[in-house]
A and B are shown apart, each in its own frame.
Chain A
Amino acid sequence: MTTILGNIKGIYQTLRRRRGGQAQQDSQSEMNQLFRFRYALFKELLSSNSQLLTILSDIDEKLKGEQVFGFSYIKNQVNKALQHAFQMVKSLNVMSGSKYRGLYASLEQINNTIKEITNEHIIDNAPANAVGYQHISLQDADWAGGKNANLGEILNKINIPVPRGFAITTKAFHTFFDYNDLKDEIINQKNLIYVNEFEQLTKLSEETIKLIRNKPMPPELTQDLQDACRAIWGDNPNVLLALRSSAVGEDGDLSYAGQYLTMLGVRFPELDEAYKAVIASLYSARSLSYRSSKGVLDEHLAMAVACLEMVDSKASGVLYTRHPYNIIDENILINAVWGLGPYAVDGMLIPDSYAVAKDDALTIANKTISLQAVQLKLNPQGGVEELPVPENEQALPCLSDEQIRRLAAYGAALEQHYGCPQDVEWALTPEDELLILQSRPLKIENPKNFCLLEAAPIAGYELLLSECDIAAQGVACGPAFHVHQLADLADFPEDGVLIAHHSSPEYVTVMRSCSAIVVEAGSVSGHMAALAREFGVPTLISPEPAMTRIKPGSIITVDAYAGRVYEGEIQELLKADSKTKDAHMTGTPVYEQLRLIAKHIVPLNLTNPAAPEFAPEYCTTLHDLARFCHELSYKEMFQISDLASKLHGWSLKLDASLPMDIHLIDLGAGLSEKVQPDWQTVQLQHINSAPFRALLDGMLNEDVHGNEPRPVNLGGLLSVMVQQSFTPGHVGERFGDRSYAIIADKYLNFSSRVGYHYSVVDAYCGDTVNKNYVTFSFKGGAADSVRKNRRVRAISIILEREGFKVSVKVDKVDARIQKYPKSYIELKIDMIGRLLIFTRQLDMLMTTEQSVQWAAENFLAGNYKLHATEEAMESQT
């Protein structure tokens, strides 16, 4: 045996020869070290497993075609999935002494197949550093970036006017970075920090931006940019340029909305500096934070830039080819401000809004004129400035009816061409020409309970705000946190509701931990709103003073369907928060690529651990690899502990009347000191681990067992079978449910796999309130999808009601509760113990829709005897 097991035998034999008390101690400490190392690998493997499963669920979710995503999403998720699969394969091999080398070949095969699919799309062959729009169309997105490719497409394929200009390609980006040898320098710097720390993040960002802006432009690049300008505008000294990012992989839809710097009013001689400023904004604090939360690797970064002639627009704004969240409203919606566009999307003032019906005449259905006192205009000296709107124009509409209809016609043509609703930026030139600045797919969401919008406020709760505009849908609850300035974000609490005067895309830095956003001024079509929708953070724009109405620290419920904010926690609303969306991604090239790749990631072929096909060479998907590694990792842990028990007389089986065999691994002080080395089993009273005791209390609760046939003589037959299944060289067959408890005095990792679904309880339970947590995952497997879903819903109702933060993805429930005192944590673990036993019966009983709520209510009421009640229910129906 050329493995760690061999080593243990070796150690043991040496020790036996020596036979001293000292030797016994040495072996004990060596065993402990061995277990610690094993356990570290095991934890790594388990953590990668759960992260990989989360990615699989997310891909599943995307394959419904309802959510918008781009190629960059695919690249990032696939990279992460591969990393986690590698981590699992590696951990299993290191812990087993390379027993499963075949897994590397399988992973390599999958990796190559996936890379082949992605490489068909990712071919970075920009023809030059700068390319004019007449030579660009959508298929050039990889080197021109989504924004440039779209402009080329609109100009060349739909014949709608766009601003004059050219694309600065990814080739230019690489030319600059290579010339200055920047990539490694930046990556090395970045490896030193943890991106979640606000202070460090800001410092790193500042240093990196300075670094980039201080490097010289390669002379070749300067020349190419100047040549491109001359080709379009000659030597006209009055031309002002706008430089905006056209990030690669952005793909028009995955909104890196407002993440990057836009340089306005740039003159030809300032082009180099402006270009550097724009590409440096890849490293702004909010972009770094965004990328880290999305798992984008720096190695894959590149940015293309759109260099466009600035028009000193008379008016500009945003057009949606339909309502972004009201599925019933089909009208084309237009927002308009005087002057330049940023004020229409920055939330600086309230724009005009027009609605145009999609009939042949393009009838204007609604026109709301907003009094706008200021506008953004080009400054002839360069840059932009805020100027007053002439008083006689303030009350006029920004666009004439004819212009509104022409713009609406452009919108309809864009939607027609792209085959999905569009989010469009437009401008009106001083010569009254309408230009399209940008067009990208619009994210459409539909509140299932549309009547909620019309419904009266929930009775019994104080209504703090109403008639808010909805920037991102959803319902959420949490403590209110006022943000007066950006520095306040550093103290933003987990699950807080962000309350502020103004909308700001800077809030993206806390969007992961924030449960909802309420601002007093802003726009539902603004950048912050786009980000909030992407992060799924319910967001309201309140016409009333939210900052004074909502007290800091108070618990509030934000209803971003009805546009209301209530005092207190409203369960009815939180539960009603489910939505359906249009499946408009299906059939797009991005969707097709994901579908192809997913075939090598998501399906699970290795379903039966007893089958001869449950082997490394049969792993054809990442899910297979994960399943194999996960299964075998327990076995590896156990083979070691079994061997250890043979050598040292440890036997860590729990003697308790439960319908499952529980095997124990003690990582330190999890068992009483009374436990003697030669014991085969331990009794309940020997369990020293606080969280495990709590779990067992719940599992052994008399009431929960009322309905289940008690297992007979568990210690006898079952354990014999289990012993057999661990015989080396023999793939374990499943005779019953096997569970593993890895314990320490304050720690518990309890996992059980029953058939095709499994559950894991992971908990820390000590005197330090901040360290305490319980996480509970439940994933259903082979049952038909309806029942699978019912079971998952019943479990999530129970956990939510018990105060857990619950996320449900397809057939997986993840629940978490943290930072509570020990006694409270123990109560929750006890509840999970009861739930584990209770859910064993759920499968058979999930026959009707009503059974979901019914089962959950019964559990919560402490009524676990489902048979009698079920009959009662059936007699009612």
Chain B
Amino acid sequence: MDNAIRVLIVDDEDDFRETIVKRLNARKLQAEGANSGIKALEVLKQKEFDVMVLDVKMPEMDGIETLRHVKKMSPEVEVIMLTGHASVEFGLKGMQLGAFDYIMKPAPINELLDTIGQAYNKKRGTA
């Protein structure tokens, strides 16, 4: 399918990332993973994505910092922030930097799919 949604999953937790990528691909999305913010930015230079799912808490470059770079490099990518525990400060920063949504882990796959779908719709609407 040429118009499958292209999703980049950025999370340093291998189990979580690989599971999500597998599940999204099974649902006919084009998903791949990156295990750090820096890796994600490298991948983003090579390839285009519609939606990025970004963990807030990562070593070295955290999700907020990564988001800042992503919005500079490829502002058209819609970013969904993922977080293990609620923090109003991180949430505010993420949303103010232009994230599409900010959701709590563990997110049920259907909820994540719905959110990815809506983020994609938004991108398509603006494109």
Contact = CB atoms under 8 A, between A and B. Distances in A.
B122 A4 contact: yes
A243 B35 CA distance: 45
A94 B84 CA distance: 20
Nearest to B119: A94
Given A37-B114, A104-B95, A10 B125 contact: yes
Contacts of B2: none
Nearest to A6: B125
Interface in A164-198: 187-188, 191-192
Nearest to A108: B92
B84 A188 contact: yes
Nearest to B102: A90
B101 A94 contact: yes
Given A4-B121, A6-B125, A93 B88 contact: no
B88 A191 contact: no
Nearest to A187: B85
A4 B100 CA distance: 12
15 contacts: A3-B125, A4-B121, A7-B122, A10-B125, A37-B115, A37-B117, A40-B111, A86-B91, A89-B95, A94-B100, A94-B118, A104-B92, A111-B89, A111-B92, A299-B85
Interface in A85-124: 86, 89-90, 93-94, 97, 101, 104-105, 107-108, 111
Nearest to A91: B101
Interface residues of A, number: 32
Contacts of B72: none
Given A10-B125, A104-B95, A191 B100 contact: no
Contacts of B125: 2-4, 6-7, 10, 97
Interface string B84-127: 11101101100110001110011000010011011001101110
Contacts of B100: 94
Nearest to B57: A184
B95 A90 contact: yes
Shortest 9 CB-CB contacts between residues of A and residues of B = A7-B125, A82-B88, A6-B125, A104-B96, A86-B88, A2-B126, A7-B121, A94-B101, A86-B91
A395 to B, nearest CB: 58
A83 B122 CA distance: 25
B105 A93 contact: no
Contacts of B115: 37
Interface in A1-53: 2-4, 6-7, 10, 33-34, 36-37, 40
Given A6-B125, A111-B89, A36 B114 contact: yes
B105 A97 contact: no
Contacts of A90: 91, 95, 101-102
Given A36-B114, A94-B100, A111 B88 contact: yes
Contacts of B126: 2, 6
Given A2-B126, A33-B117, A34-B121, 18 more contacts: A3-B122, A3-B125, A6-B126, A7-B124, A10-B125, A37-B114, A37-B115, A90-B91, A94-B118, A97-B125, A101-B96, A107-B92, A108-B92, A108-B96, A111-B89, A187-B85, A191-B85, A299-B85
B88 to A, nearest CB: 5
A305 B40 CA distance: 45
Interface residues of B, number: 24
A93 B95 contact: yes
Contacts of A3: 122, 125
Contacts of B121: 4, 7, 34
Contacts of B117: 33, 37
B33 to A, nearest CB: 20
B95 A83 contact: no
Interface string A52-89: 00000000000000000000000000010011001001
Contacts of B118: 4, 34, 37, 94
Interface in A190-231: 191-192
B84 A191 contact: yes
A97 to B, nearest CB: 6
Nearest to B114: A37
Contacts of B84: 187-188, 191
A191 B86 CA distance: 11
Q: What secondary structure prevails in chain B residues at the interface with A?
A: helix
Interface string A529-552: 000000000000000000000000
A107 B111 CA distance: 26
A742 B102 CA distance: 26
A630 B125 CA distance: 26
A166 to B, nearest CB: 34
Nearest to A1: B125
A89 B105 CA distance: 19
Interface string A125-145: 000000000000000000000
A666 B41 CA distance: 43
A191 B106 contact: yes
A79 B91 CA distance: 13
B16 to A, nearest CB: 11
Contacts of A37: 114-115, 117-118
B88 A83 contact: yes
A7 B78 CA distance: 15
A194 to B, nearest CB: 12
Interface in A352-385: none
Contacts of A191: 84-85, 105-106
Contacts of B101: 90, 94
Contacts of A40: 111, 114
Nearest to B125: A7
A97 B122 contact: yes
Contacts of A297: 85
Contacts of A89: 95
A77 to B, nearest CB: 14
Q: Which of B86, B100, B105, B118 has the most CB of A within 10 A?
A: B118
Best-surrounded residue of A33, A34, A94, A107 (most CB of chain B within 10 A): A94
Given A33-B117, A191-B105, A86 B85 contact: no
Interface in B56-100: 84-86, 88-89, 91-92, 95-96, 100
A244 B124 CA distance: 60
B114 A86 contact: no
Contacts of A83: 86, 88
A305 to B, nearest CB: 26
A538 B117 CA distance: 51
Contacts of A82: 88
B49 to A, nearest CB: 19
Nearest to B91: A86
A13 to B, nearest CB: 12
B51 to A, nearest CB: 14
A192 B121 CA distance: 31
Contacts of A7: 121-122, 124-125
A4 B122 CA distance: 6
A191 B84 CA distance: 8
Nearest to A190: B85
Nearest to A80: B86
Contacts of A101: 96
B62 to A, nearest CB: 14
Contacts of A79: 88
A40 B124 CA distance: 22
A6 B118 CA distance: 13
Interface centre among B85, B95, B114, B126 (most CB of A within 10 A): B95
Interface string A816-846: 0000000000000000000000000000000
A26 to B, nearest CB: 14
A33 B102 CA distance: 20
Contacts of A94: 100-101, 118
A147 B63 CA distance: 40
Nearest to B97: A104
Contacts of A93: 95
Nearest to B111: A40
Interface string B39-56: 000000000000000000
A299 B88 CA distance: 13
Nearest to B122: A97
Contacts of A97: 122, 125
